[in-house]
């Protein structure tokens, strides 16, 4: 038995030969098209991993578009896939947590849905469904996507999100190297979440996370006038960003030090609002923009010693 993406898997009654169930093959696990398959069933729209038995056969879509399955008013799966690729799903997208993580990692790697689906050997229509609607993909699908996106199934499922990073094993032969200013600027990128270290009004030190942007070489973030990050204004502060790759036991950190000031010029504020990539995650009224002008930029990276 061999199949292609978009073919139908049909399960018939051994006694009567009537179709008991059918579905679209949306995921392959072998390049030669042999079982098992990820199948989206036409009666439930669920996707499951299927090892076809002797009562199942493949209906190849390239041999002609079949009619509507017996006892069903749904369009055939070939037509349904064509419709899903031609137009967005009805209603406002409401992705599940797995879909959100898949979409973020895919965009981070600069992959289109079509390219990511091709590499993972799943249907582009199913990847769109996974990213835009709550879904429960099979373990095989998650393993394929994790390999393509250079992450882990655990990360895609969000397990351990409440645990601090870095609980994995250290590299056998780690290397800690300093980063130059240009690489530090590249890692800061354009926006993200970083931590600002300040002294509060009572003289105590505090480190708080903020959503930040990089605008003309300066670090800017929004906050409220009475908040802890607002204590940065008028002082020299430290600002840190980092990334930890749990699976590979690697990571980097960048530290920027410089004076912080409040942005007051109305035109500049309007420009910052327009350019902002995201609203502050804590929500609420946070209309005060703070700018940090780095006067010292340093960083470090942990890699295997042979790299």
pLDDT at 74: 37
Please state the length of the chain.
307
pLDDT at 72: 34
* Structure tokens given for 265: 């010029």
In DSSP terms, which residues pair with 291 in a beta bridge?
220, 261
Q: What is the pLDDT along the chain (307 residues), one digit of tens a residue?
A: 888 888 888 888 666 556 678 888 888 888 888 888 888 887 777 788 888 888 888 988 754 344 333 333 333 444 344 333 333 344 445 667 888 889 988 988 889 999 999 999 898 888 988 898 887 788 888 888 988 998 888 788 876 666 677 766 777 888 999 999 999 999 998 788 999 999 988 889 999 999 999 998 999 999 999 899 999 999 999 999 998 877 677 889 999 999 999 998 999 998 888 888 778 878 777 889 999 999 999 999 998 887 6
Predicted TM-score (pTM) of the model is 0.54
pLDDT at 207: 96
* Structure tokens given for 22: 């059918």
Which position has the token pair 């095989």? 140
pLDDT at 162: 66
Q: Class of 174-304 per CATH?
A: mainly beta
CA distances from 118 to 27, 32, 65, 205, 240 (A): 10, 14, 23, 50, 37
pLDDT at 185: 93
Between CA 90 and CA 266 the distance in angstroms is: 41
Which position has the token pair 């990089």? 214
pLDDT at 86: 34
CB under 8 Å to 275, separation ≥6 — which residues? Answer: 213, 215
Residue 46: which of 23, 75, 20, 79 has the closest Cα? Answer: 23
Between CA 15 and CA 18 the distance in angstroms is: 8
Domain boundaries in the chain? 8-86, 97-157, 174-304
pLDDT at 89: 41
Which CATH architecture best describes the domain 8-86?
Answer: Roll (2.30)
Q: Could you tell me if 178 and 203 are in contact, meaning their C-beta atoms sit under 8 angstroms apart?
A: no
pLDDT at 237: 95
CA atoms within 13 A on the CB side of 191: 13
97-157: which CATH topology?
Answer: 434 Repressor (Amino-terminal Domain) (1.10.260)
Query: Quick one: how many helices (H) and strands (E) in the chain?
Result: 8, 13
Q: 285-300 pLDDT, tens per residue?
A: 788 999 999 999 999 9
Q: How many other C-beta atoms lie within 10 A of the C-beta of residue 292?
A: 23
Q: Could you tell me if 144 and 49 are in contact, meaning their C-beta atoms sit under 8 angstroms apart?
A: no
């Amino acid at each position: 038995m061999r199949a292609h993406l978009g073919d139908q898997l049909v399960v018939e009654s051994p006694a009567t030969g009537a179709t008991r169930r059918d579905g679209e093959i949306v995921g392959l696990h072998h390049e030669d098209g042999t079982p098992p398959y990820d199948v989206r069933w036409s009666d439930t729209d669920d996707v499951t991993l299927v090892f076809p038995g002797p009562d199942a056969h493949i209906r190849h879509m390239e041999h002609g578009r079949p009619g509507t399955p017996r006892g069903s008013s749904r369009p055939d799966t070939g037509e349904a896939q064509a419709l899903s690729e031609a137009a967005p799903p009805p209603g406002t997208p409401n992705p599940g947590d797995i879909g959100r993580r898949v979409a973020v990692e895919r965009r981070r790697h600069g992959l289109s849905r079509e390219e990511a689906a091709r590499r993972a050997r799943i249907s582009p229509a199913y990847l769109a469904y996974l990213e835009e609607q709550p879904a429960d993909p099979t373990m095989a699908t998650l393993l394929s996507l994790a390999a393509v996106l250079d992450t882990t199934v655990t990360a895609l499922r969000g397990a351990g999100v409440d645990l601090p990073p870095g609980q994995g094993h250290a590299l056998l032969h780690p290397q800690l190297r300093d980063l130059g200013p240009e690489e530090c600027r590249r890692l800061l990128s354009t926006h993200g979440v970083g931590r600002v270290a300040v002294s509060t009004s009572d003289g105590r030190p505090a480190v708080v996370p903020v959503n930040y942007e990089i605008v003309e070489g300066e670090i800017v973030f929004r906050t409220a006038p009475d908040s802890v990050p607002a204590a940065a204004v008028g002082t020299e502060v430290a600002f840190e960003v980092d990334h930890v790759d749990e699976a590979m036991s690697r990571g980097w950190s960048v530290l920027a030090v410089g004076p912080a000031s409040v942005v007051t010029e109305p035109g500049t504020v309007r420009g910052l609002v327009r350019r902002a990539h995201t609203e502050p995650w804590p929500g609420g009224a946070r209309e005060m923009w703070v700018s940090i002008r780095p006067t010292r930029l340093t960083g470090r990276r942990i890699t295997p010693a042979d790299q």
